[in-house]
Amino acid sequence: MAEQLRLMAVHAHPDDESSKGAATTAKYVAEGVDVLIVTCTGGERGSVLNPKLDRPEIWNNIGEIRRAEMDAARAILGVEQAWLGFVDSGLPEGDPLPPLPEGCFALQDVEVAAGALVRLMREFKPHVVTTYDEDGGYPHPDHIMCHKISVAAFEAAGDPERYPDLGDPWQPLKLYYDMGFSKSKVTALHEAMISAGLESPYAQWLERWEDREDKGPRVTTRVECGEYFPVRDDALRAHATQVDPDGFWFHVPMELQRRAWPTEDFELARSLVDSPLPESDLFAGVRERAHAC
């Protein structure tokens, strides 16, 4: 019998799992893959981004509310989920930037913080791990720290000499970075909206693109998952404090999204199996090994 396939997606805050790679995780759940979402922080210092919920009673209980939102999103996606237990660092603003709060996730020692993730990797035994790239996908200190501990844990989990008290060694086979919105993807969605006679929410984004790196050339793996875009959006709406249901993310009609860009895109950052590029499956090269077990 083939070994059960397992995917671990490591995210910084509750809601990140629903805005980054959610359709991919829903697709693999539907195919019978075990998926574990790891949430590094509780989102305690997050803002209330839905104007309909911008009230003192929400702000005063934001940590508890965001955990409840994560419960709802987890059920929609059909995944398992674990908290690493670190405290949200917040997004510093101002010039100069203020110091990060004492004890927050971004100020943890990487080697120490990675241990919590090593323990989970050895318990869950993922074949594939996804996380963010070196700038966190965007430069939030928690996203950058999430990248750092994910890479460190991926490299340490299989080494019996590292973290010897955190369980039997387990080596994941592939590590991916979520690539999110490349310039080619934004352009495709923008042009599809214009062709349909609709106002594009991406016009200003494209005008400012010269100030951003285009990560499109780094994409190695495109997962066809348009069928699961509605699941992704339902999970994102479950994070009601973090997204306006009438806002930017939901302006592009579903059928247009599926036609213009039906994939979620990733960069293969580490691999211990043979999987020729480009890929269409995060488990390329892994399935063959699992079937041989």
Q: Domain locations in the chain?
A: 6-180+216-291, 182-214
What pLDDT does 291 receive? 63
Q: Is 143 annotated as a binding residue?
A: yes
CATH number of 6-180+216-291: 3.40.50.10320
Phi and psi based region of residue 224 (left: phi greater than 0; alpha: psi -120 to 50; beta: remaining): beta
The sheet with strand 128-131 has its strands ordered as: 80-86, 34-41, 6-11, 128-131, 174-178, 263-271, 221-224
What pLDDT does 95 receive? 82
- Nearest CA-CA partner of 45 in 4, 96, 86: 86
- Nearest CA-CA partner of 220 in 130, 151, 111: 130
Q: Is 147 annotated as a binding residue?
A: no
DSSP 113-155: HHHHHHHHHHHH--SEEEE--TT-SS--HHHHHHHHHHHHHHH
Where helices occur in 10-61 by DSSP H, the ranges are 16-19, 22-30, 56-59
Separation between Cα atoms, residue 26 and residue 30, nearest integer Å: 6
Q: pTM, whole model, 2 decimals?
A: 0.96
The rounded average pLDDT for each run of 10 residues, N- to C-terminus, in the chain (293 residues) is: 90 98 98 98 94 91 96 98 97 88 97 98 98 93 98 98 98 97 95 96 88 90 98 97 90 96 98 96 92 57
CB atoms within 10 A of CB 237: 20
Q: Is 16 annotated as a binding residue?
A: yes
